[in-house]
Amino acid sequence: MSAVKITEGRVSVGMCSQSLFYRQALPSAGEPKLCVLLLHGIRFSSQNWLSIGSLNALAEAGYRALAIDLPGLGESKAAEAPAVVGEPAPAEFLRQVCDGLNTGPVVVISPSLSGMYSLPFLFQHSEQLKAYIPVAPICTDKFKAEQYKAVQVPTLIVYGDQDTQLGEVSLNNLKNLPNHKVVVMQGAGHPCYLDDPVTWHKVVLEFLHTLL
Q: What is the largest CA-CA distance in the chain?
A: 47
Q: What is the pLDDT of residue 82?
A: 85
Show pLDDT as tens, one digit a residue, over the chain (212 residues).
Answer: 457 889 999 999 998 989 999 999 999 888 899 999 999 999 999 999 999 999 999 999 999 999 999 999 999 999 988 889 889 999 999 999 999 999 999 999 999 999 999 999 999 999 999 999 999 999 999 999 999 999 999 999 999 999 999 999 999 999 999 999 999 999 999 999 999 999 999 999 999 999 98
Flag whether 169 is in a domain.
yes
Identify the DSSP state of 40.
-
Q: Which domain holds residue 59?
A: 6-210
Q: What is the pLDDT of residue 1?
A: 44
Flag whether 60 is in a domain.
yes
Flag whether 116 is in a domain.
yes
User: Which residue in 110, 112, 114, 170 is the catalytic one?
Assistant: 112
Flag whether 114 is in a domain.
yes
Query: pTM of the full predicted structure?
Result: 0.97
Distance from chain centroid for Cα 23:
14
Flag whether 194 is in a domain.
yes
Domain count of the fold of the chain: 1
Query: Long-range CB contacts (< 8 A, 24+ apart) of 17-20?
Result: 17/78, 17/79, 17/80, 18/76, 18/78, 18/79, 18/80, 19/76, 19/79, 20/68, 20/69, 20/70, 20/71, 20/76, 20/79, 20/97
Q: Tell me, what CATH number does 111's domain have?
A: 3.40.50.1820
Flag whether 99 is in a domain.
yes
Residue 163 annotated to the active site: yes
> Following CA atoms 56, 57, 61, 63 in sequence, which dihedral angle do they give, to the nearest 10 degrees?
-60
User: Which residue in 40, 69, 76, 163 is the catalytic one?
Assistant: 163
The Cα 71–Cα 113 span in angstroms is 11
Flag whether 1 is in a domain.
no
Q: Which residues pair with 122 in a beta bridge?
A: none
Flag whether 69 is in a domain.
yes
The Cα 55–Cα 5 span in angstroms is 10
Residue 112 annotated to the active site: yes
Q: Identity (one letter) of the amino acid at 108?
A: V
User: Which residue in 54, 114, 118, 190 is the catalytic one?
Assistant: 190
Q: Which residues pair with 24 in a beta bridge?
A: 7, 66
